[in-house]
Every structure is written in structure tokens, then in C-alpha cells.
């Protein structure tokens, strides 16, 4: 089960387009998804984004109440993946 919602995936791809970056240059790896899911413990996990051309990577919290796509774009603006 993927923790990344379809709209978050679409946001991620829009960010790449906005920054004129190739989707194929970025590897998205999900991990660390919580096993307990209910009203008290919403689904959460981690996503690691790796830019293959530079081998730079960053890990973000994903799931309910997170803003990983906005954090990813901030990191792009700061040159973290260059």
C-alpha cells in the first residue's frame, strides 16, 4: 500500500515540470509505513527522493498532515539536489 496519495504524486510531477527537471532523473522510494492505521494512528511513512544524475538524496515524512512536496520544492530552490 502506497502512503503517497495520487494528488501528492501529481504535485511532485508538477514541481519537476515547473523546474524543468526530468522525471526519469528522480527515484522515489517509499518506506517506513506505519502498520497501525486508524483514527488515532493515521498512515504515515518516509519517502526518499534520489536525483540519479547527482546521487543527492533527501528523506521526507509522508502521510496525513505532512507537506513533503512543498518541502521537496524548497530543497530544489536551495540547490540541495544539485
pLDDT given for residue 34 in this prediction:
57
Boundaries of domain holding 62: 6-78
DSSP type of residue 62 = E
Is pLDDT above 90 for 71?
Answer: yes
Q: Are 69 and 52 in contact (CB under 8 A)?
A: no
DSSP type of residue 59 = E
Q: How many domains does the chain have?
A: 1
**pLDDT tens, 42-66?**
678 899 999 999 999 999 999 878 8
Is pLDDT above 90 for 3?
Answer: no
Q: Are 26 and 51 in contact (CB under 8 A)?
A: yes
**pLDDT tens, 4-17?**
888 999 999 999 99
d(CA 70, CA 36): 26
Q: Are 56 and 50 in contact (CB under 8 A)?
A: yes
pTM of the entire predicted model: 0.85
d(CA 37, CA 50): 28
| 1, part of any domain | no
| 31, part of any domain | yes
Amino acid at each position: 500500500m502506497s502512503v503517497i496519495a495520487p494528488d501528492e504524486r501529481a504535485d511532485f510531477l508538477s514541481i519537476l515540470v515547473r523546474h524543468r527537471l526530468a522525471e526519469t532523473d528522480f527515484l522515489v522510494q517509499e518506506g517506513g509505513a506505519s502498520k497501525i492505521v486508524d483514527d488515532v494512528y493515521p498512515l504515515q511513512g518516509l519517502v526518499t527522493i534520489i536525483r540519479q544524475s547527482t546521487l543527492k538524496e533527501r528523506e521526507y515524512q509522508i502521510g496525513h498532515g505532512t507537506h513533503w512536496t512543498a518541502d521537496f520544492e524548497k530543497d530544489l530552490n536551495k540547490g540541495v539536489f544539485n
